[in-house]
Structures are given as structure tokens and as C-alpha cells.
Amino acid sequence: MTTSPDSYGLFRLYHGEDGQSHFEDIEAVPFDVSEARFGALVPGRFADFHVFADRRLLISLSGEATITSRDGEVRHFGPGTVMLAEGQAEHQTRVSEAQAWTFMMVKLTD
């Protein structure tokens, strides 16, 4: 398992041709949005490997979580971090023990 030192900012989580999920740092681009909602996960919450059914942006508002891709890379997800999650990209989510993690989830149009 590796952790990127530059893991705050804007990155993409995608399902590669090798059948694994991977991270990629990306530049900001405009997105068309179909819906948005706010959410929160309790301190210490762990969600084993799961996927989103569609493309979405996940925007961290407060607290911190770590996201682990299927290939073992870990990204720290703190306030202001944005992740573009492609559908079917498996990942684990672990919320810090210190406080709840709040976020905004934005569903993108195709």
C-alpha cells in the first residue's frame, strides 16, 4: 500500500483495463451536473470495497477520510479535496477517528 504525498487537490478514481482501480491527478474542467446532496460518515467508519454506479464528484467539506483503490494506493481526503469517481471503480473508505467526515456528492450527467 502506498500513499501519495500530494494527495490533496483534484484526482480521479477509475477502473483500468487491468481490472484494478487506480488514482490519477487531473486538472479542473467543467462538468454537467444532474443532482447534488450532502452526507456525513461517523468517526472511525470503514466501508470495504464498493463502487459507485455512475460518475460523480465527491467534495470533502470537513473531517478526513482515506480512500484506497483496488491497486493499494491510498489518498487522503481532507477539506477542499475533490475526487472524480468513475463508475465501477472499486475503493475502500475509512473515516478518521478524530471527527465525522462531511462531504458533498455531485452526480454527473454522461
Q: What pLDDT band is residue 2 in, cutting at 50, 70 and 90?
A: very low
Residue 15 is predicted with a pLDDT of: 87
Residue 9 is predicted with a pLDDT of: 74
Number of separate domains in the chain: 1
Enclosing domain of residue 59? 2-108
Q: What is the pTM of this model?
A: 0.78
CATH number for the domain harbouring residue 83:
2.60.120.10
Q: Measured in whole angstroms, how far is the alpha carbon of residue 16 from the centre of its chain?
A: 16
Q: What pLDDT band is residue 28 in, cutting at 50, 70 and 90?
A: confident
State phi, psi for 36 to the nearest 5 degrees.
Answer: -145, 145
DSSP for 11-65, please give it. EEEEE-TTS-EEEEE-------EEEEEEEEE-TT-EEEEE--SS-EEEEEEES-E
How far is Cα 91 from Cα 22, in angstroms, rounded to an integer? 9
